[in-house]
A = this chain, B = another copy of it.
Amino acid sequence: MRKVAVVGIGMTPFGELWDMSLRSLGIEAGLNAMVDAGLSSDEIDALYVGNMSSGRFLGQEHIAAMISDQAGFTRRNLPAIRVEAGEASGALAFREAFLSVAAEIHDVVIVGGAEKMTDVSDAMAQEIFAASVDQEWESFFGATVPSLYAMMARRHMLEYGTTREQMAEVPVNGHRNAAKNPNAHFRNQITVDAVIGSGPVATPLGVLDCAPVSDGASAVVLAPLEIAKRMTDRPVMIAGSGTATDSISLHHRKTLSGIPATTIASRLAYKRSGLSAKHIDIAEVHDNYSISGIMAVEDLGFVPRGQGGPAFQEGRFSADGEIPINLSGGLKAQGQPLGAIGIAQVVEVVRQLRGEGGERQVGNPEVGLTQCVGGTGGTCVVHVLKVV
């Protein structure tokens, strides 16, 4: 397998974008990535698209071909492949695109993630979210995604003594970072007290523990490293990629206080990159709920199990901490357009590794990690990226 690099990154702002359709979002992110790569659409060989539920949000399936058409790729009838894995759709699409270049199926590939979520009611949006957990055994009986994560939070509190205050540090950190991100859905700062006092969604989680419903898109261009070196002075290599599945229903899971698929996917990604948790300089993790951020740093091996809460409280994952986490603001503050998340994580990590983080740049990181979860952990995808 040959080495593969990210040669272009692009995204739209995330938020309630009433004037943008799915196709305009997809095109804007894609064009930004192509401009960043210095490529025209004639130099692209294939398109991968990550999207969770355009069928339900918009009544539109077949969107890889649709975006391919809008981007001008159908002039050359390029292959266009949509990949879906719940909230991990973008991350899994990125992985498929990466593998297709690594395995010499394609040379230059663009992979985009997009979701248009605000054209339906909030109640419908929550119902669509719940399509990534078990419809027959969970959501049909009234379990929402936040209620399932609330159970995981309760279990984590019971097993490890994790406190409400510790959990609240996760969104506080996200909002603090997002304040410096012009693309973020929320740029206001929040406090631990505000999180704890926020309206209950599924106890112990309040509204400020939960990532929002956002519109948005993100895209990256991938090329073989050898070609990438001729295109840019700062190619960022995909050093390792791992994915793992698990039961999509929580009651079949081996544990509730962690996401086993994250642990396994990260082990695979570490192994393939020849690196380990101790080499990670920055990370973008799946903080759809505050408990998710705590489970992530434990599942990824950044801290021993049970130490996620205290570590967040000690600021070890703040912008000036040991491993700055979610410098973009994460799902909580940068926003949560489902299919776009996994690729937006890569966009942020590449931005930081290139030293282009602007106001929120943290030193000279060399290795970054992304972790993206579908449902409550039915799928996890982890990537390790590295400055060449």
A123 at the interface (CB under 8 A from B): no
A74 at the interface (CB under 8 A from B): yes
B73 touches A81 (CB 8 A): no
Pick from B60, B96, B375: contact of A65, CB below 8 A.
B375
B135 touches A60 (CB 8 A): yes
B77 touches A244 (CB 8 A): yes
User: Taking the nearest CB of chain B, how far is it from the CB of A260, in angstroms?
Assistant: 7
A105 at the interface (CB under 8 A from B): yes
Interface size in chain A (residues, C-beta < 8 A): 63
B127 touches A62 (CB 8 A): no
Q: Using an 8 Å CB-CB cutoff, how does the interface string of A132-148 with B read, 1 for contact, 0 for none?
A: 11111001000000000
User: Taking the nearest CB of chain B, how far is it from the CB of A382, in angstroms?
Assistant: 12
User: Taking the nearest CB of chain B, how far is it from the CB of A57, in angstroms?
Assistant: 9
A285 at the interface (CB under 8 A from B): no
Pick from B23, B61, B127: contact of A59, CB below 8 A.
B127
A100 at the interface (CB under 8 A from B): yes
A99 touches B92 (CB 8 A): no
A-B contact pairs, 27 of them (CB 8 A): A55-B56, A56-B56, A59-B131, A61-B86, A62-B84, A62-B132, A62-B378, A64-B85, A64-B245, A66-B134, A69-B247, A69-B378, A74-B246, A74-B247, A77-B244, A77-B245, A78-B245, A79-B244, A80-B245, A81-B92, A81-B96, A82-B83, A82-B84, A82-B85, A100-B103, A102-B103, A102-B105
Residues of A that sit less than 8 Å from B by CB: 1, 21, 23, 52-53, 55-56, 58-62, 64-66, 68-69, 73-74, 77-86, 92, 96, 99-100, 102-105, 127-128, 130-136, 139, 243-249, 252, 260-261, 264-265, 374-375, 378-379
